[in-house]
Structure 1
């Protein structure tokens, strides 16, 4: 009986008194060690981060589509036929020609009967800004 230890003392034959090294409480008066629910924290974090990535992806996708549309309109206007040097800040109208070649004009769409494609303004960067265009999608 002399080798018997009390029940509330942490002792093992191979490690001796090792209560300070254990990851759990070893006495009646020790504070409760509560394991946090890391799985739900991770899943909430993953959900939030994935939403943020999805929102950013959609934002970039919309910006890309807008950029490509601007590029297509600029390509269309610059490939059009015109016999004058466009002035920055002026408004021009793009029409489809009977010969299949588009042309740029100062004449508005309500002033004559041509197939209207859009109204554009040249900015200081030599980029054509679409002010109004016929319902056309390049995608």
Structure 2
């Protein structure tokens, strides 16, 4: 009969007592070997990254919507009828006449009873900036 070794003794037939060369602790008083919970760490990381990317996507979406709105206003003003060269920094008003044609004017809506679309200012980039949208505006 072979001599039985206690459970807390590290012994193999090939290597004998080799507890001192093992990469882990082998005695009863050693700290327990625990596997890190990598799955929950990954899921928290994925959740945080998805939240950040979602926020960034929403910011980009808002910027895109503002850009498209700006583009549509500029397209509307530039396609309107006017027979003068607009001056940078001046305020202009966009109207719609009875036949449905848009036209640009210096006359304010308080001085004139026409369908007012919006009030604009031309900036140095030749871009029309909306100062006030009229009652019959795009939005």
TM-score, normalised on structure 2? 0.84
- Residue equivalent to 1:10: 10
Q: What SS is found at the alignment partner of 1:69?
A: helix
Structure 1 runs (4+) deviating above 6 angstroms are none
* 1:1-139 equivalence runs, <5 A: 4-13=4-13, 19=19, 20-21=21-22, 25-134=25-134, 135-137=137-139
Structure 1, unmatched stretches of 5+, are none
CA shift at 1:118, angstroms?
0.2
Q: RMSD in angstroms over aligned alpha carbons?
A: 2.2
CA shift at 1:133, angstroms?
0.8
Cα distance change of structure 1 residues 16 and 122 upon mapping to structure 2, 3 Å threshold = farther
Q: What SS is found at the alignment partner of 2:41?
A: helix
Cα distance between partner residues in 1 of 2:64 and 2:133: 19
Cα distance change of structure 1 residues 17 and 121 upon mapping to structure 2, 3 Å threshold = farther
Q: What SS is found at the alignment partner of 1:110?
A: helix
